[in-house]
Amino acid sequence: MAGGRAVSALEQHLADYLQLRRSLGHEMAEARWLLPRFVAYLDAHGSSTVTIEAALDWAQQSPTGQPTTVGPRRMTAARGFARYLAGIYPGTEIPPLGLMPHRQRWRPPFIYSIADIDALMHQARISIRQPLRAATYETLVGLLAAGGLRIGEAIKLDRSDVDWSGSLLLIRESKFGKSRLVPLHSTAMQALSVYAKLRNELEPRPEEPSFFVSQTHKRLCYAAVCQTFRQLVNDAGVGDGAPSAPRLHDLRHTFAVRSLLSWYRTGEDVQAKLPSLSTYLGHREPASTYWYLSAAPELLSLAAARQNTRWTAVRS
């Protein structure tokens, strides 16, 4: 029984599937969040197994009626579950690759103002009822803005990855399999310390060593973080009317752009300092960091002005 009702066959198969994948070393964080909804959809439509039509219909669902960016991730989760079910039900259809390809179209990032970031952190405090969850999202937003981390890096942080005496974070085996140390300002470290104290009081026996703790006493789930962040953005009115809607990853873009702006405004040798920023952000090479020069019109104008000054000096 689940919640006073009988567990459906698909629900039981899903539980077995997730358990199997976890036993093989897969985290399955996003699938754990997405697939119960897919199974509920199949059960509601009387489907005994996965079909391509059902998977596509579910993946394309959107409460607003607009195209959803989570669709490709839903399809990936549904495809993995279908492969498992195919060994149980001969009639299972496995959605082919490319049915809902991830879009690679570039779009300009939303650059958050200091007021925007303050508004998001304030919104977490006032709109999330659970004290620890509110503190988790307020601190997470602040860390992403102050440290330029990828969201996956912040979620992956363990308590032992924080060097309190050195004001450093250890980012372990990040996007390109490399680890790095990220220094933080004393104010950011103080905010992390306040959160850690509250977390230890409210969650004295966590199930995982993660620095940020979820409602389930475990590590945060990427999909759930994205959903909560979107709600905070909407409720706070951040980016209303902006050409590009604010995204979670844009906090990292904002950090990089503001670092470059600061260097240009203070007359620093940006070319010489760019490799340091590249290392700090965990890029494979400085060329990846040059992308941020096109992320803000002010950066382009400052870079152009600096170049014109150099050409004028050379010609004279």
State the catalytic residue, choosing from 21, 230, 249, 306.
249
26 is catalytic: no
- List b or e across 139-170, with b for residues whose CB sees 16 or more CB atoms inside 10 angstroms: bbbbbbbbbbbbbebbbbbeeebbeeeebbbe
State the catalytic residue, choosing from 17, 137, 195, 292.
292
State the catalytic residue, choosing from 252, 253, 258, 280.
252
Q: Which two tokens stand for residue 103?
A: 């879009």
State the catalytic residue, choosing from 45, 103, 122, 175.
175
3-state DSSP helix/strand/coil % of the chain, to nearest 5:
60, 5, 35
Amino acid at 123: Q
Backbone angles phi, psi at 101, to 5 degrees: -65, 150
User: Can you tell me the distance from the alpha carbon of 100 to that of 151, in angstroms, rounded to the nearest whole number?
Assistant: 24
State the catalytic residue, choosing from 73, 79, 150, 253.
150
253 is catalytic: no
280 is catalytic: no
252 is catalytic: yes
User: Can you tell me the distance from the alpha carbon of 210 to that of 18, in angstroms, rounded to the nearest whole number?
Assistant: 21
Backbone angles phi, psi at 154, to 5 degrees: -70, -40
**Local structure of residue 110 (DSSP, 8 states):** P
292 is catalytic: yes
> Shortest CA distance to 305 belongs to which of 275, 274, 267, 277?
267
Amino acid at 66: Q
User: Can you tell me the distance from the alpha carbon of 116 to that of 250, in angstroms, rounded to the nearest whole number?
Assistant: 12
283 is catalytic: yes
With contact defined as beta carbons under 8 Å apart, do 212 and 220 qualify? yes
Measured distance between the N- and C-terminal CA atoms of the chain, rounded to whole angstroms: 84
Q: Which residues are catalytic?
A: 150, 175, 249, 252, 283, 292
